[in-house]
């Protein structure tokens, strides 16, 4: 048994790839004072996958440029934020006999750390420098080269805070909840 555990890292497959797709963002506010709608943005960058083929487990880590937008109805404006996004997911690929070389479904979960680029704050809004989320996703690998992945990110910290200029009330905090749908080509 010990020999099996020690020999597993030697069997690991390391693959690099390019990833791109869309992100659909919704800010979840802690009070109903501010409302926003779902807005589409985009994402793209590089990925690294380390997998254990026999077991089906692996790590999927990416470095992505991500653009998120929201229409905010209290102020009637569009809020745009750009991030360098670092999702790190544990991935389980279902090992299917016969069709596994053509089609392999998978599930994934893990943290996502997004670093805000630039200073996008306005007088009424203050953005957090880091947006931290937890991802849950599913997808499929086709021909061992192309991965299609849908991921839902649940915001864990406040990504944005709204301050009403004419009121002495405390700010309203918003968390990013979003879908990300990507395609990746692995080398």
Inter-residue contact 85 to 67 (CB < 8 Å)? no
Where are the domains positioned within the chain?
13-186
- Decide if domain 13-186 falls under CATH 1.10.10.10: no
**How many CB atoms lie under 10 A from the CB of residue 104?**
19
pLDDT of res. 30: 63
Q: How far apart are CA 136 and CA 108, in angstroms?
A: 6
Q: How far apart are CA 173 and CA 187, in angstroms?
A: 41
Pairing relationship of beta strands 130-142 and 160-162 according to DSSP bridges: unpaired
| Average pLDDT score over the chain | 84
Inter-residue contact 131 to 83 (CB < 8 Å)? yes
Kindly report, residue by residue over 54-99, the tens digit of the pLDDT.
889 999 999 999 998 876 655 556 778 899 999 999 999 998 888 9
Tokens matching residue 170: 């405390």
Q: How far apart are CA 38 and CA 56, in angstroms?
A: 34
Kindly report, residue by residue over 105-159, the tens digit of the pLDDT.
999 999 999 999 976 555 566 778 999 999 999 999 999 999 999 999 999 998 8
Q: What predicted TM-score, i.e. pTM, was given to this entire model? A: 0.82
Q: How far apart are CA 131 and CA 128, in angstroms?
A: 7
The candidate with the shortest Cα–Cα distance to 104, out of 136, 137, 142, is: 142
């Amino acid at each position: 048994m010990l020999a099996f555990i020690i020999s597993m890292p030697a069997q690991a497959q390391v693959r690099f790839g390019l990833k791109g797709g869309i992100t659909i963002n919704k800010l979840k506010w802690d009070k109903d004072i501010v409302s926003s709608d779902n807005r589409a943005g985009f994402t793209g960058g590089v990925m690294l996958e380390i997998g254990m083929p026999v077991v089906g487990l692996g790590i999927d880590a990416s470095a992505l440029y991500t653009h998120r937008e929201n229409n905010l109805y209290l102020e009637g404006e569009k809020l745009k934020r750009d991030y360098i996004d670092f999702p790190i997911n544990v991935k389980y690929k279902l090992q299917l006999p016969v069709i596994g070389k053509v089609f392999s479904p998978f599930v994934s979960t893990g943290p996502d750390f997004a670093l805000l680029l630039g200073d996008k704050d306005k007088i009424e809004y203050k953005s957090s420098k880091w947006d931290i989320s937890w991802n849950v996703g599913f997808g499929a690998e086709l021909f061992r080269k192309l991965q299609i992945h849908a991921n839902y990110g649940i915001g864990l910290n406040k990504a944005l805070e709204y301050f009403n200029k004419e009121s002495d009330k405390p700010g309203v905090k918003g968390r990013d909840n979003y879908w990300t749908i990507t395609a990746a080509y692995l080398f």
